[in-house]
Structure 1
């Protein structure tokens, strides 16, 4: 790879070099038992008649407005002589401090930090995780100024961050607030490892006890971290920190500038399927270091921490990241081909069971992400930027491979986005179309209209056949009766009714509670078995409570394939299909002559 181009320079204005003084953050974590901390922020002298102080209303990586400022109490502001300054609350995440003369301003407040699952902040007797968006206020006037952060912590704690270390222990420094807000701090009692890959330094910090094998994690993260040159020409960092929380329930992950925070239940590492969940998440967040943190849609540049930022290109930011995550693991030998195609098959099956893909385009889903709430309505009327964005990326990759006779791929698109639209630039829809035209040598305007601006249902067998693959439910698959409903766990109350499915067409709705089939009582544990007593096409009488009123409806059962969808080799794949496969994934053909995965897989 080429020498690193330091990304932090792109976040700072030239004014930083002539800054009057740093913005100085101090946080006292010495009484962490009740999730409380004391925060002090010292702002440089301002000539204005007021100083606006903000706490973001959303955090990067989660496109949703959050009540972050609700955690702030005992807010005070003082001048350079220590005298109290008057202030007013002017927005949900904003305080305006009145000034009668030029002065520096010191802001103090109490912080309640108990948003572990939101990955905003969490303080307890064993650690503190601090994402600046929910922890440290800023002033737009000094957003570009250098910052310093110092922590006062219990004696046995250690502190880590993607930021540069400061002059003292438990302190950090950054060029501006944008780096601080994208460089969370993990401090406390944890396990720590250092390793290197492709000339870059890495750290792994794990908080919490669990059934993880930290040495295996280091081995596989080392392999993963060495795969970046499959897509990009250089690195936007010199050092990268993987932060992991082994928790009692919280799960998820968030990408940051040169670090990530990954949360998983503490006993979800030993079983292979659980471990794959962890390492795929790590790959996803690692890829985000380029795709989102180094380059992102212009609607997200620069970050506006006080308002939503709308873009139709979130499917590239998130869905394409999901698309590449398992590819890097496959190339690294961390994931087998069998595991790779099990993951892809699961995504295909889920897409085909999501009627919303017929209603909403991926562009509309991207623009609507800030307002999306999931649930039954989303499944029936919406498209997911992660899962459907993955499959859209797959279709685009296959199209580029076909158009260029395997010479170019979707990786080239992301390489060019990184090279030409690095922060502080941002790419537009026109920019992406232009790159597609340049890479392919043909216009992608019609493709974009069909696959991005319009709802689409992909023909997966036709698509995968180009790489010598097909979907199958296996030789023993059979047609089974299908209702189109999902029950709440341990209950006969419906948590989902698929649009245009048998139950939907019969007039059964979300929240109805089934009590009998053909006049006989049915239980939650026996519902699926009872349905299998019938055949597809049979009409059954369903007795249920709807808004507390007893009803009986006729339901004609639909049909579905039994078993689990899988992806395997077509019969007698051609040399051209195998070449397409290799150009796509970068690994050799993994099937034997019988269409089974080779033993090495």
Structure 2
């Protein structure tokens, strides 16, 4: 049976100054009833309808090189006119690319970046066909040194096939594979390391002074640990960390053989940075944790998927109550991989873990929304947070990570160290990741039940189901004590508080970003968006506020003047004690042999 013709794409950064990609899509055997084309409405890994089609500026069709009618059906779909005879149908369109994030596309005279979901129209009825994409160099001598970085396969044997890091033709097995390989182009810095027999590239776009050798060595250790966790060989034969370096920024999005990252240049390692016996800078640990998180998704989410995502329907929301496992468990393992691989010390890991616990405790939304509900409502709540979010929602990332911690500790303690969450992840990989069978909504509970076995498995499965569907705080102090870790909680600050969070980036203006439930400000009638002007008749500023509050006592009544819109308002409120939400975790000074054995199994070597 002859091979079906490939769908052919061409993309050119034709006008970097105008941020426009020129794209074409060619089908050699279009549907004679009228070929339909669609652009995804969202990108896997970021659970919000993004409406990428709104960035298509112009679009026209040609049949055998002649203009051909095409109509828009809805916000992201087009249908070409029926064809009475066989021919070649091509769409030519422009995409505006000025979204400096990991989710869409960005183009200027310094670099170009795109996700396929933002630029490549899917051809109805042809998405299972192989795809060829010709990535063209922008015209002009200013771009002659530009390179290309992507995990897309080179189209070897095809005319115009790209060479490594070059412009030209790449291939994908089908549309799903095509859109799962983002592309970076420009004068980027390129680093390499080998992990588990696989070449890994680090691509840095933007100005930086990164010590690539140090970054590569630290990432190598993290990647090798993760591969060992699931079992070699890794599920890809090449991997690339595509990183856009900016003044201030943070973000990551996973793909099957790469990740798109956004980081602050101050978070990258530099020559002469303290290491070895020293603790790592906080920003660098944050960046390593981000890289670790996205790399872990190579298994958990990209291949071990909820059944609701197999396959994805990129035209509308895909609902699941399991993001607490796919994002939350990944959030647990991202920093755990740093300590288990020896990149950071156990004490540093406990500091990172304490911050996660503190962040969860600071939001009263944790008592109103379960992580299962948060997962299901990600499309409308978690990814569309407003000023009331801390009072209304819980993060399935952060609390999901703490649920993973609690489950891991209980598996280890209940089996005397013979079983752990690692075994659950390996079972999910073997049963679902390697088979492609999606995880049912009760599939995580079933995996825990099987791994725990005996009475432990069913008991922990019941606990887990109750926990993810409920809003109770986790018994972390008790569980950590069994692993020789002391849990302390204290007030988040030393001064009386108003029960608010201030907006940032407004200079010295004291604008309220959030008014917390049950706090003095809410009781007095203050609202998010109010601009505080004076406290007891004295001018307030972002710099002076803490100092003014420090001179008062819990229970003092104060007078606040504030602008709401353009109206001057007056409020009287009673200052409250800071909430006890700052958690610290320390290795216990004394621990028995059995406890130390459990702790070593969890964290690796400790004192």
TM-score with structure 1 length normalisation? 0.90
Q: Structure 2: how far apart are the matches of 1:72 and 1:546?
A: 39
1:386 pairs with one of 385, 388, 397 = 397
Name the CA distance, whole Å, in 1 between partners of 2:291 and 2:495. 38
* Conserved? CA contact 2:488–2:584, under 8 Å: yes
Alpha-carbon offset, residue 560 of structure 1: 4.2
Tell me by how many angstroms 1:250 deviates: 4.3
Contact 2:526 2:571 in 1 (8 A): no
Indicate whether 1:566 and 2:584 are aligned: yes
- Aligned match of 2:569: 550
1:190 aligns with 2:183: no
2:170 match:
172
Deviation sequence 1:253-292 (CA, Å, 0-9, x none): 1111101111113343247222212211111111010011
The equivalent of 1:486 in structure 2 is 501
1:278 paired residue number: 287
Q: What's the counterpart of residue 82 of structure 1?
A: 65
Distance 2:541 2:61 in 1: 61
Which sits farther off after the overlay, 55-64 or 566-575? 566-575
Q: Is the contact between residue 22 and residue 146 of structure 1 (CA under 8 Å) also seen in structure 2?
A: yes
1:62 aligns with 2:51: no
Change (3 A) 1:273 1:559: closer
The answer on whether the counterparts of 1:50 and 1:98 sit within 8 Å (CA) in structure 2 is: yes
Q: Distance in 1 between matches of 2:542 and 2:190?
A: 46
- Listed one character per residue, the Cα deviations across residues 294-349 of structure 1 (whole Å, up to 9, x for unaligned) are 11111111111111111100111111111001111112222222221111111111
* Distance (Å, rounded) in 1 between the aligned partners of 2:71 and 2:235: 40
Q: Is the 8 A contact 2:524 2:571 kept in 1?
A: no
Equivalent residue number for residue 598 of structure 2:
580
Rounded Cα–Cα distance in structure 2 between residues aligned with 1:203 and 1:478: 43
- 1:308-327 equivalences in 2 (<5 Å): 308-327=317-336
1:457 aligns with 2:456: no
Quote how far apart the aligned CAs of 1:247 are. Answer: 2.4
Q: Greater shift after overlay, 567-576 or 327-336?
A: 567-576
CA–CA separation in structure 1 for the residues paired with 2:107 and 2:545: 44
CA contact (8 A) 2:151 2:257 kept: yes
- Determine if contact 1:541/1:555 at 8 Å carries over to the other structure: no
Matched residue of 1:397: which SS? Answer: helix
Aligned to 1:142: 126
Q: Among 342, 348, 370, which residue is 2:351 paired with? A: 342
- Cα distance in 2 for partners of 1:45, 1:447 equals 55
Query: Which residue of structure 2 lines up, in the alignment, with residue 3 of structure 1?
Result: none
Matching residue within 278, 289, 303 for 1:294:
303
* TM-score, length basis structure 2: 0.89
Q: How does 1:40-439 map to 2 (within 5 A)?
A: 40-79=24-63, 81-101=64-84, 102-153=86-137, 154-167=143-156, 168-169=161-162, 170=167, 171-234=169-232, 235-270=234-269, 272-372=281-381, 373-422=384-433, 424-439=436-451
Give the 3-state SS of the residue equivalent to 1:194 in structure 2.
Answer: strand
**Secondary structure of 1:508's match?**
coil
Greater displacement, 302-311 / 164-173: 164-173
1:389-430 per-position Cα deviation (integer Å, ceiling 9, x unaligned)? 111111121222233222111111111111101263210122
CA apart distance, 1:229:
3.8
Distance (whole Å) between structure 1 residues aligned to residue 534 and residue 284 of structure 2? 41
* 1:12 matched residue in structure 2: none
In structure 1, list runs of 5 or more residues that go unmatched. 1-16, 591-601
The DSSP-based 3-state class of the residue aligned with 1:461 is: helix
Q: CA deviation at 1:47?
A: 4.3
Alpha-carbon contact 2:369-2:394 (below 8 Å) kept: yes
- CA contact 1:513–1:546 (8 Å) conserved in 2: yes
Q: Is the 8 A contact 2:406 2:476 kept in 1?
A: no
- Secondary structure of 2:424's partner? helix
1:503 maps to 2:521: yes
SS at match of 1:371: coil
* Counterpart residue number, 2:278: none
- Distance change >3 Å, CA 142–CA 501, structure 1 → 2: same
Q: Does the Cα contact within 8 Å between 1:166 and 1:173 map onto a contact in 2?
A: yes
Task: Say whether the 8 Å CA contact 1:479–1:560 is kept in structure 2.
Answer: no
Change (3 A) 1:478 1:411: same
* Contact residue 493 and residue 578 of structure 2 kept, 8 A: no
